Structure 1
């Protein structure tokens, strides 16, 4: 349970970060936003390597450089593709990965030891989480019309889901489902009531945002469905990072952000949500 002072620090940090993130999304061209996002995502990946027990700086630097080169290669390959096919394929791969990650969550002890093979799985998981999410971010922002606003809506869905889950969990946790937890071995504080609160918050923001950006009434059911999937996948991303932390006995992925832990602690749900939102937006054409 957070203390009042810890909660205050958390809120202040969020209020400081939010204007910069929103301003970058709405004002920067896609190329510049993609570079800025790559920096943030790679910091999160650096923390992921720590959770995968890659403790030495040199191996982590080599692995990070390899992922950066993969991003550069994808941009280069997409320059000759008017439909940005390489980015779309990698984003779709991200959706497939998070479906597999759901199976991983059901097998709590998989890759939980400290052997080399377990690290390999977790390192591959890091690339499959971070690179497709970065591709999806670029695709959403570059989409026409109003791609920058749709990206803000996608992120706001995750932020609202986090806030809705926190509020519902604190006020209603344990009351509606007989005290049953969402994933007690992975994240004991998450409740089913919190999940419903997160769904309500994320869907509400999606529908309001879509209406503001000009989505027609006939498109709102599709927005609703994509928002539900986006929230659910963001929960999978959150739980997966919690699983990694449980395996190594860590509370946070880092301490870079006051009151929030590491960058990965803020990105976990976003990494899973963005490929799903990008795919849904593509399929339904909103």
Structure 2
């Protein structure tokens, strides 16, 4: 019972912080995911150190350099939305990212006990796996989106809408996959990675997430997005969110741990909470850039 109340309380706090950060204003959205990115990246590094102990031998310059580069990349994706003095924060971010990404291999060569391209690869993969997706999500939020409903009908969607929809669709997919899998799941989906996932549950979650998006989009959401956008975004969240969940599960299994961290009592770490978003966000960004602007 105590565990149930702990999980419920931490979940309510999590939802309140997320909604506040997403909806309040563009800066709170950036700040929220700036912090999520920083801590998720540290959890990724922790997993890699447990998978390959050689990564623990990287120099302090390497570790701090890649963390600063990560923060700079996040800043770079804000573009001209935030101004520091007479210079936009995006410009500062790009230059800091370039400088520290150049320093990263130099620090590995000069200060590590044993120079290893493998360790540089682990860090670069962390930036690609964690930082770039969150940066793309921030980029979507900070830019008003002109939605082309038809060839001659254009509307504007609020910046927070698509990130919030991705989170909602991922939640619907996960919840429905669990329910369907519990009721009729028989065939293991990826037993070596996530033994509890079933093909029936996975497909059921995806279908119901897209169906829910289609129903809402048709009856109530057409003033925000055209129906096809509701369907495609739900499909991206369901399909790539599921793959993202499996990737993080694989990393944890390789590291021999149950959770990536313990920031949320009963819910694990930042990577555990946002693993699905790490793969869904880039594909949503590509879709937005290609078909919604």
> TM-score w.r.t. structure 1 length?
0.73
Q: Which has the higher contact order (CA 8 A, sep 6+)?
A: 1
Cα deviation for residue 147 of structure 1 reads: 1.9
Tell me the distance in 2 between the aligned counterparts of 1:252 and 1:220.
Answer: 37
Cα deviation for residue 139 of structure 1 reads: 2.6
**Contact kept? 2:74, 2:132, Cα under 8 Å:** no
Match of 1:214 in 2: 222
In structure 2, the CA distance between the partners of 1:208 and 1:215, relative to structure 1 (3 Å rule), is farther
Aligned with residue 171 of structure 1, among 164, 183, 186: 183
Runs (4+) off by over 6 Å = 77-81
**Aligned Cα RMSD in Å?**
3.2
Match of 1:19 in 2: 16
Match of 2:153 in 1: none
List alignment gaps of at least 5 residues for structure 1: 88-115, 175-179
* Aligned ranges 1:120-159 → 2 under 5 Å: 120-144=120-144, 145-159=157-171
In structure 2, the CA distance between the partners of 1:60 and 1:223, relative to structure 1 (3 Å rule), is same
Deviations 1:225-262 (A, max 9, x none): 33212211111111111111111211110111111111
Cα deviation for residue 27 of structure 1 reads: 1.6
In structure 2, the CA distance between the partners of 1:76 and 1:214, relative to structure 1 (3 Å rule), is closer
Tell me the distance in 1 between the aligned counterparts of 2:63 and 2:260.
Answer: 15
Larger gyration radius, structure 1 or structure 2: 2
Tell me the distance in 1 between the aligned counterparts of 2:248 and 2:119.
Answer: 14
In structure 2, the CA distance between the partners of 1:252 and 1:11, relative to structure 1 (3 Å rule), is same
**Contact kept? 1:153, 1:209, Cα under 8 Å:** no
List alignment gaps of at least 5 residues for structure 2: 50-54, 95-115, 145-156
Match of 1:112 in 2: none
Aligned with residue 10 of structure 1, among 7, 11, 14: 7
Matched, 1:240 2:247: yes
Cα deviation for residue 209 of structure 1 reads: 5.4
Deviates more, 1:59-68 or 1:186-195: 59-68
Cα deviation for residue 121 of structure 1 reads: 4.2
Aligned with residue 287 of structure 2, among 276, 280, 284: 280
Cα deviation for residue 279 of structure 1 reads: 2.2
Cα deviation for residue 119 of structure 1 reads: 4.9
Cα deviation for residue 150 of structure 1 reads: 2.4
Cα deviation for residue 274 of structure 1 reads: 1.3
**Contact kept? 1:149, 1:213, Cα under 8 Å:** no
In structure 2, the CA distance between the partners of 1:27 and 1:47, relative to structure 1 (3 Å rule), is same
> TM-score w.r.t. structure 2 length?
0.72
